[in-house]
Amino acid sequence: MRIKFLHAADLHLDSPFAALPPEQAARRRREQRELLGQIVELCNGEQCDLLLLAGDLFDGATVYPDTLEVLQRQLARCRALVFISPGNHDPYGPDSPYARNDWPKNVHFFTEPSMQGFQLPHLDLELWGAAFTGPSAPSLLDGFRVTGERPAIVLLHGDAQNAASPYNAITTTQLEQCGADYVALGHIHAPSGLLHAGKTAYAWPGCAMGRGFDETGPRGVYVGTLTDEGCDLQFHPLDSRRYLILSVEAGADPRQSILDALPPETENDIYRIVLTGPSPRLDVVSLEESLAPRFFGLTIVDETYAPQNLWEARGQDTLRGLFLQALYERRAEDRELYEMAAQLGVAALDGREVPEL
């Protein structure tokens, strides 16, 4: 046996990208459509037998006609057989895009909320799967076992991390007992890596494109090879843009502090920069405007606090005042040392965390 497949999931085509300005959100949706071309290119280049799309191909029930056209055109270009298992965002139904009759001939869908099988004798393989037909689904793999003699792949949208999930909860026992050689999953948006339950290999590739700051880092698809020795899985990053969160100590010159903290190439990425520590009053809007050209998207979050004038309370008839006065009078001996002592003492008196000095 030697089956090569490309496994992708959770493309969420036509996502709103609500956190981005409208123009950039539209550009991201265009990039989602371009991602389809990249996936098909990779699939053809790797000479895969199968393209497995494990659900949430669309973000919702309404799909732009352009998106559908690009998808159909790209899939027609794909030399592999394409199988789609609809998920909770794009359930199969008579009004869903999947029910249209103009799909390329190499594209096949699961349409029932129960396990169905395709026999692929030319690959000596069985391909099993099921569909969401609504926003949730019971445990579709429960009690299922591959029936035939051939090696088998199962394609499903479902949650293998939470046994109480309303989204087709999948347990390791079900995976172990289903008898498939590989279970191609979707739903969880961070890639799983290659996992095993008994002799069953399984994985989910995560969403192929980051859509927010809960989806940071590289995103992509898996290319897998199934042989008698087992399953081999390679992650292929595809999305050229990443969501990144960077925390920066604002200091005296927040703009310079940000520039010092950034890696050289940031033009393609979407950043959230969190400014921390003591800082003079910040004008976040103009700071964002002046730095924006260096990024595809930038949000600056101000978590700084006003710096106190260290010696302000000196001379007051309080413990703080007497403490500061005593240090102030001697600070000519060693300015740095006495300022440090004053900072630590004031923080202790305020009950604040001791600042890093």
Structure tokens at 192: 């799983």
Asked if 159 interacts with Mn ion (CB under 5 A), we say no
- Sole window of 2-10, 28-36, 60-68, 234-242 interacting with Mn ion (rule: CB under 5 A): 2-10
Residue ranges of E strands in the chain: 2-8, 50-53, 81-84, 107-109, 116-120, 125-129, 152-157, 182-186, 195-197, 200-203, 220-227, 230-237, 243-249, 270-276, 297-302
C-alpha neighbours within 13 Å on the C-beta side of residue 150: 17
The answer to whether the beta carbons of residues 241 and 215 sit under 8 Å apart is no
Asked if 14 interacts with Mn ion (CB under 5 A), we say no
Which of helix, strand or coil describes residue 79?
A: coil
Closest approach of Cβ 321 to Mn ion, in Å? 60
Beta strand 116-120 pairing with 125-129: antiparallel
Distances (CA, A) of 165 to 12, 39, 58, 204, 275: 20, 29, 21, 16, 37
- Sole window of 55-63, 127-135, 208-216, 311-319 interacting with Mn ion (rule: CB under 5 A): 55-63
Q: Which is nearer to Mn ion, 83 or 323 (CB)?
A: 83
Binding mask 224-263 for Mn ion (x = CB under 5 A): ----------------------------------------
Count the residues of the shown chain that bind Mn ion, applying the rule CB under 5 A: 2
Q: Which is nearer to Mn ion, 10 or 269 (CB)?
A: 10
In this chain, which of 56, 90, 239, 269 binds Mn ion, going by CB under 5 A?
56
Closest approach of Cβ 280 to Mn ion, in Å? 43
Closest alpha carbon to 110 in 130, 125, 134: 130
Q: Which is nearer to Mn ion, 10 or 14 (CB)?
A: 10
Closest approach of Cβ 59 to Mn ion, in Å? 8
For tokens 């002046």, the residue is 290
Residue with the CB atom nearest Mn ion in the bound state: 56
Asked if 10 interacts with Mn ion (CB under 5 A), we say yes
Closest approach of Cβ 11 to Mn ion, in Å? 9
Closest approach of Cβ 254 to Mn ion, in Å? 37
The DSSP 8-state label assigned to residue 58 in this structure reads B
- Name the site residues for Mn ion (rule: CB under 5 A): 10, 56
